[in-house]
A and B are shown apart, each in its own frame.
Chain A
Amino acid sequence: MNTEILLKSERCKGCGICVSFCPKKVLGLDTLGHCSVINEQACIACGQCELRCPDYAIFVDKKVGA
């Protein structure tokens, strides 16, 4: 795993923009309708989710040194 995903669930409203724009199907919505990571291995840290999240609830970075 070379990427780090930080979710701030208290800010998430479950609009699903991050899920739609993720090119690798890393993200999904949990039973409460909040964004959750379902396949972290696939993440390429492209940052599409963070870029377009209207609630500032998801942050993605490449791991330092990776």
Chain B
Amino acid sequence: MKERTYEKYFRQNRLPHIWCPGCGNGIAMKAIVQAVEMRGLPRDKTIIVSGIGCSSRASGYMDFDTLHTAHGRAIPFATGIKLANPELNVIVITGDGDCTAIGGNHFIHGARRNIDLTVVLFNNTIYGMTGGQASPMTPLHKKATTAPYGSVDRPFDACNLAQAAGASYVARSTAFHVQHMTDMIAEGISCRGFAFIETVVQCPTAYGRKNKMPDPAEMMKWMRDNAVMKTAWDRMPEEKKADKFPIGVFHRHQAVEYTEAYSEVITLAQEGGK
């Protein structure tokens, strides 16, 4: 059997991971290490930063320098690391609650500054770890422990949010489209600027059981049937778009990167502010 070279990026003695049977986070974590391998990032120059939540447990299983930070604050910690040492590759792993609720402000300001981070959002559309409360990305009319009759709050589209806030690269993929997800993350790593990748992952335990989809494989088949590639989405008539969602690269825009802009400030200050 051929050696699976990406396995060296896992802390083998920490596996199996803590995630529920069928949880899509494992698939997204593998896509990240495969993207890191694809881009040939040196392990001692790659930092994984995560916040709090199911998704953020990933940093504990990845054999890099890793940082498991405060709830919603993964992007500020990552910003500090990148500013202190701009040659590092900083990858942020966050969840839908962590990134768009508690860390919503940090998220939009990270994108606004266009700092060179790769932010991977594991979107399971619920707060899994704390018992299935509705998150800002729970779809309309879907049930959660805090929304027993269905959520009436309109959900965020995190990709639109990142684009509007000024990110350089915005993409979405799903746990069904594993190879596509790996490619999206790899391209995000190459991007010089704020790269945001939303990965739709299944949560059979907290979300699925309340919404008549307790089987993880069925949830993945739902992704297969409802995710539409960006190019096909653009040509799709509006009436067919109900319940479906686009995947692929939504936005590429090369703007001034924050650490480069900041290094100019440092130079200016060292020259005496002339």
Q: What residues make up the interface of B, taking CB atoms closer than 8 Å to A?
A: 1-2, 4, 7, 10, 15-17, 19-27, 30, 175-176, 178-179, 204, 215-218, 220-221
Contacts and interface: CB of A to CB of B under 8 A. Distances in A.
A51 B4 CA distance: 12
29 contacts: A10-B16, A11-B15, A13-B16, A13-B21, A13-B22, A15-B21, A15-B204, A15-B217, A16-B22, A16-B217, A17-B22, A17-B216, A17-B220, A20-B218, A21-B217, A51-B178, A51-B179, A52-B176, A52-B220, A54-B19, A54-B23, A54-B24, A54-B175, A55-B16, A56-B7, A56-B15, A57-B16, A59-B1, A61-B2
A4 to B, nearest CB: 5
Contacts of A52: 27, 175-176, 178, 220
A17 B221 CA distance: 10
Interface residues of A, number: 22
A61 B220 contact: no
Given A55-B17, A56-B26, 20 more contacts: A4-B1, A13-B16, A15-B22, A16-B22, A16-B216, A17-B22, A17-B216, A21-B220, A52-B220, A53-B26, A54-B22, A54-B25, A54-B175, A55-B15, A55-B16, A56-B10, A56-B15, A57-B16, A59-B1, A61-B2
A10 B16 CA distance: 7
A59 B27 CA distance: 14
Interface of A: 4, 6, 10-17, 19-21, 51-57, 59, 61
Contacts of A61: 1-2
Contacts, number: 64
Given A10-B16, A51-B178, A52-B175, A17 B217 contact: yes
A10 B13 CA distance: 12
Secondary structure call for the A interface: loop
B216 A15 contact: yes
Nearest to B6: A56
A13 B20 CA distance: 8
Nearest to B61: A56
B200 to A, nearest CB: 14
Given A20-B217, A59-B1, A61-B2, A11 B175 contact: no
Task: Determine which residue in A10, A16, A54 has the highest number of CB atoms from chain B within 10 A of its CB, and name it.
Answer: A54
A19 B216 CA distance: 11
A24 B179 CA distance: 21
Contacts of A57: 16
Contacts of A20: 215, 217-218, 221
A63 to B, nearest CB: 9
A54 B27 contact: yes
Contacts of B26: 53-56
